[in-house]
Homo-oligomer: A and B are copies of this chain.
């Protein structure tokens, strides 16, 4: 909403949940366009748990953000200047724009957006990376069948809700895990899942919840959280269970002291498999996901919602909301 260009830069690597002090807002003018580059008027920025990993001084599947650089983030918006043959002014593109109002990027790193498929916020949610992550993780790795019981953690979240609803579409019994009665009601009433487990409940543990909601055991587990919930589900798996590791948000706050799932030996006795992935594995297959998810969003079988925060200066607090589980739907920043 600011008229001058603004950037959120990473100036220190956070040790836990990032405080305000690791960020600095600058107001530099966008650089001149190099050959093949475009300038994007960033209209929405995605705030994702995985950004915690990018702000860690350790290579994971991608280089960390260097101190002083604009924080890495997915963004979307129209091209306002182009020195590329691929895009013209007015084309809407998505990719790594960073947390800033104007981004000058290599056009080959950006994906064209078909705005006929839905409003711009859908392309940063169900038709964006989080939707694709739920789609490939569930269909390509989880591979639920109609006779299966599927459990999804963070099931009201941007990735989990897509994964859970796709498992429902496949005919499976789907149990969602989420924090608090409001999110659990959303799973049952809006998403139509078969059961919901409130991991914050003081009257029932997750283990007890699983015993009630998945009496026949768990065939597929789509994990966004790690920690104790992963351990509880591993204690409840069926033979040949598939555990899809999508994220471990419970561990991201203090990654140096991450704890592994005590129950991992269940993978031997149950001949189970635990499979990690990132969207890097599936970038070449995004068009498949867009086609299916656009159809499923349109016919109502994959519902979705967005939680939009206004003002680039609210990025630091928005990022912390994620770790407190306060957002309802895909968290986006309108800078």
CB–CB A269/B274 < 8 A: no
**Cα–Cα, bound, A264→B272 (Å):** 15
Q: A320 in the interface, Cβ–Cβ < 8 Å?
A: no
Bound together, the chains give a CA A262 to CA B227 distance in angstroms of 10
Contact A276-B281, Cβ < 8 Å, known A262-B260, A263-B260: no
A245 and B261 CA atoms in complex are apart in Å by: 14
Residue ranges of A at the interface with B (Cβ–Cβ < 8 Å): 53, 60-61, 226, 231, 239, 245-248, 251, 255, 258-278, 280-281
A281 closest partner in B (C-beta): B271
- Of A262, A268, A281, chain B has the most CB atoms within 10 Å of the CB of A268
| Cβ 8 A contact of A272, one of B231, B263, B271, B276 | B276
Q: A277 contacts which chain B residues (CB < 8 A)?
A: 268, 271
| Cβ of A72 to closest chain B Cβ, rounded Å | 15
A-B contact pairs, 17 of them (CB 8 A): A60-B269, A226-B265, A231-B260, A245-B267, A251-B265, A258-B262, A258-B263, A260-B260, A260-B262, A260-B264, A264-B274, A266-B276, A267-B274, A268-B277, A271-B277, A271-B281, A274-B275
Please, how many angstroms separate the alpha-carbon atoms of A262 and B280 in the complex?
A: 23
Checking B246, B271, B273 against A268 with a beta-carbon cut-off of 8 angstroms, the contacting residue is B246
Interface of A is mostly: mixed
Q: Shortest Cβ distance from A16 into chain B, in angstroms? A: 16
- Inside 8 A of A269's CB, which chain B residues have their CB? 53, 60-61, 276, 278
> Which residues in B have their C-beta under 8 angstroms from that of A260?
231, 259-264
- New A-B pairs, 13, CB < 8 Å, besides A259-B260, A267-B275: A61-B271, A245-B264, A245-B268, A246-B268, A255-B265, A260-B260, A260-B261, A261-B264, A265-B276, A266-B276, A271-B277, A272-B276, A273-B275
A253 to chain B, nearest CB (A): 13
- For A280, the closest partner residue in chain B by CB is B271
CB distance from A305 to the nearest CB of B (A): 25
Q: A259-B262, A260-B263, A262-B258 are in contact. Are A276 and B280 (CB under 8 A)?
A: no
| A255 and B61 alpha carbons, distance in the complex (Å) | 33
Closest beta carbon of chain B to A113's beta carbon, Å: 26
Given contacts A259-B260, A260-B261, contact A270 B231 (CB under 8 A): no
Chain B residues within an 8 Å CB radius of A268: 245-248, 276-278
Closest to A247 in B: B268
Question: Min CB distance, A117 to chain B, in Å?
Answer: 28
- The reply to whether B261 and A271 form a contact with Cβ atoms under 8 Å apart is no
What's the minimum C-beta distance from A154 to chain B, rounded to whole angstroms? Answer: 14
**Given that A260-B260, A262-B260 are known contacts, is A273 also in contact with B271, CB under 8 Å in the complex?**
no
Residue of B nearest to A262 (CB): B260
Q: Closest chain B residue to A272 by CB distance?
A: B276
Residues of B with C-beta under 8 A to A239: 61
CA distance A281 to B273 in the complex (A): 13
What B residues does A262 contact at CB under 8 A? 258-260
Query: Nearest-CB distance from A271 to chain B (Å)?
Result: 5
